[in-house]
């Protein structure tokens, strides 16, 4: 009995010591940030995540590494801003598919973003800097875009760098500091806008602060107007030059050219009011999908407001907007005032891309969540934020493990695609994928550096005369016959085409 009593206090003391050690470690920013960096490094794998945009970025970057001119799947019309492909193009000096290097670059962008984010939060939320930073970094949406070869990580890293520079410009008290930070910000915002043109809106955020400072007498009106123009003009000209290039290429290529982003702002099949209403629903949904743990892929079909998710997302959105208004009235950062302009722009552009357009606002959303949690009395904010971080991290690790396992299983598809493409090498006919495993179309685009049509419905192949890659066990109709097979894929062509080719070969032999 005495032995049991001696063991119990010993265990209690041991648990208390471990608890105190954990608290001391978590109170050290360097320890926490290093731990987050190690967690993010788990996404550095040599297995490429196939998406349509990623295959196009790879194509543009590859053309840059080859010495130009810049092309997207062989077309001079890029469709995507060139900033991100320029950043990743050095990786293609080491090979045609440097996927491990690309993953390392994405991790590097994520680390730069995290450092910039902590620097920003430390300035504006000294007591909540680590909470806001951790809430952003453990978010499942953030890990998704770190894993993919898309522009979000580079854009977010550049965005935080520019926000910190613009905040320094706003606080500058000498003429020399004002000039230096104006030049730095002008160059930075131009680079940001070349990664994604929407980045130019950060100038509007700074302009609001500058005008507010002039209105209250903190700075002169001439400084407010001059610095806003000097920061915004180069970026605006860069964006206009890119839009002009895309429009000119569309005219030159004619019907072969894909639409650009400006064309997609107006949906002809719906009224303006319906389009704006749908844009509002989509963006409200994306706010909730990012903030609520485990809801990243929970959304309603197009146009449907009466959905169980809506009853969660709408009140949450209103609470976040109230929290933002409370913060924006007290904190003088350019990032706070980008939100209304950024949100209005993306409401007018109601494309649903799986939270891709709202993910750059994640630092603001995390700050709003922290502000709401701080309204709770006593030690409850710590419990609320700690619980949110723990749940987010569990969800993120689970989804990351599942996605990494899926990418590993799909690696054999590269070899299958390469074998099938050897059969059609040099054939001028187009080819498409129909009924093929996920990612086959994008892998085919990377392998051939040409556009590959992704056809969902086999009925659309009734008049198609090109090659088709399909799953080995899939049947797309009696008009197509198998020309080759590799792994889980097979190459199909129309019977009449195959017969004509065989007759031509026979004729040449005779």
Q: Can you spell out the DSSP letters for 358-374? A: TGGGHHHHHHHHHHHHT
Task: Give helix then strand counts, H and E, for the chain.
Answer: 19, 5
Reported as a pLDDT band with limits 50, 70 and 90, residue 509 is very low
Tell me, what's the pLDDT at 24? 58
Tell me, what's the pLDDT at 316? 95
Q: Give 25-84 pLDDT, tens digit per residue.
A: 556 788 889 999 999 999 999 999 999 999 999 999 999 999 979 999 988 999 999 999
Q: How far apart are CA 212 and CA 203, in angstroms?
A: 14
Q: How far is CA 292 from CA 169, 305, 313, 320, 394, in A?
A: 35, 18, 9, 12, 13
The chain-wide mean pLDDT, for the chain, equals 87
Q: Give 453-471 pLDDT, tens digit per residue.
A: 888 888 888 778 888 999 8
Q: Which of 176-190, 252-266, 301-315, 329-343 has the highest mean pLDDT?
A: 176-190
Record the tokens describing residue 486, joined without a space.
């590799």
Nearest to 354 by CA among 304, 298, 394, 307: 298
Phi first, then psi: what are they for 378, rounded to 5°? Answer: 60, -135
Tell me, what's the pLDDT at 360? 95
Question: What are the CB-based long-range contacts (under 8 Å, 24+) for 116-120?
Answer: 116/157, 116/160, 116/161, 116/163, 116/164, 117/160, 117/363, 118/29, 118/33, 119/160, 119/164, 120/160, 120/163, 120/164, 120/167, 120/333, 120/335, 120/363
- The model's pTM is 0.91
Task: Give the residue with greater pLDDT, 415 vs 304.
Answer: 415
The sheet with strand 480-486 has its strands ordered as: 453-454, 431-433, 467-471, 489-494, 480-486
Reported as a pLDDT band with limits 50, 70 and 90, residue 412 is confident
């Amino acid at each position: 009995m005495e032995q049991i009593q001696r063991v119990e206090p010993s265990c209690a003391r041991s648990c208390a010591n471990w608890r105190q050690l954990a608290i001391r470690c978590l109170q050290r920013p360097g320890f926490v940030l290093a731990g987050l960096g190690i967690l993010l490094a788990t996404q550095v794998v040599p297995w490429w995540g196939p998406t349509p945009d990623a295959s196009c970025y790879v194509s543009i970057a590859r053309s840059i590494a080859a010495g130009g001119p810049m092309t997207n799947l062989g077309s001079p019309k890029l469709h995507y801003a060139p900033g991100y492909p320029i950043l990743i193009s050095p990786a293609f000096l080491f090979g045609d598919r440097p996927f491990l290097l690309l993953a390392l670059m994405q991790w590097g962008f994520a680390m730069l973003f995290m450092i910039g984010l902590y620097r920003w939060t430390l300035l504006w939320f000294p007591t909540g800097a680590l909470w806001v930073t951790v809430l952003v970094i453990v978010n499942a949406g953030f890990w998704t875009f770190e894993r993919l070869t898309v522009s979000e990580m580079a854009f977010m890293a550049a965005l935080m760098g520019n926000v910190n520079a613009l905040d320094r410009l706003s606080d500058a008290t000498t003429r020399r500091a004002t000039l230096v930070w104006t030049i730095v910000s002008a160059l930075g915002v131009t680079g940001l806008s070349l990664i994604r043109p929407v980045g130019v809106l950060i100038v509007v955020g700074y302009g609001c602060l500058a005008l507010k400072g002039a209105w209250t007498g903190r700075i002169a009106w001439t400084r407010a107007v001059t610095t806003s123009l000097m920061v915004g003009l180069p970026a605006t000209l860069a964006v206009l030059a890119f839009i002009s290039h895309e429009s000119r290429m569309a005219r030159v290529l004619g019907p072969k050219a894909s639409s650009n982003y400006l064309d997609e702002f107006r949906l002809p099949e719906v009224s303006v009011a319906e389009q704006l209403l749908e844009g509002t629903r989509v963006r409200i949904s994306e706010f909730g999908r990012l903030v609520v743990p485990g809801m990243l892929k929970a959304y309603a079909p197009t146009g449907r407001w009466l959905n169980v998710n809506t009853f969660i997302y709408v009140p949450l959105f209103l609470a976040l907007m109230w929290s933002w208004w409370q913060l924006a009235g007290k904190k003088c950062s350019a990032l706070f005032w980008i939100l209304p302009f950024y949100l209005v722009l993306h409401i007018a552009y109601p494309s649903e891309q799986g939270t891709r357009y709202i993910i750059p606002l994640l630092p603001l959303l995390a700050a709003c969540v922290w502000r709401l949690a701080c309204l709770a009395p006593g030690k409850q904010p710590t419990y609320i934020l700690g619980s949110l971080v723990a749940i987010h991290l569990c969800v993120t690790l689970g989804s990351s493990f599942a996605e990494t396992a899926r990418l590993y299983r799909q690696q054999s598809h590269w070899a299958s695609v390469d074998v099938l493409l050897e059969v059609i090498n040099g054939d001028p006919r187009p080819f498409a994928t129909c009924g093929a495993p996920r990612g086959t179309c994008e892998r085919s685009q990377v392998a051939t550096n040409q556009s590959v049509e992704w056809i969902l419905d086999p009925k659309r192949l009734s008049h198609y005369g090109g090659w088709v890659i399909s799953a080995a066990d899939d049947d797309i109709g009696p008009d197509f016959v198998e020309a080759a097979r590799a792994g889980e894929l097979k190459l199909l062509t129309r019977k009449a085409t195959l017969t004509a080719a065989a007759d031509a070969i026979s004729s040449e032999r005779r």
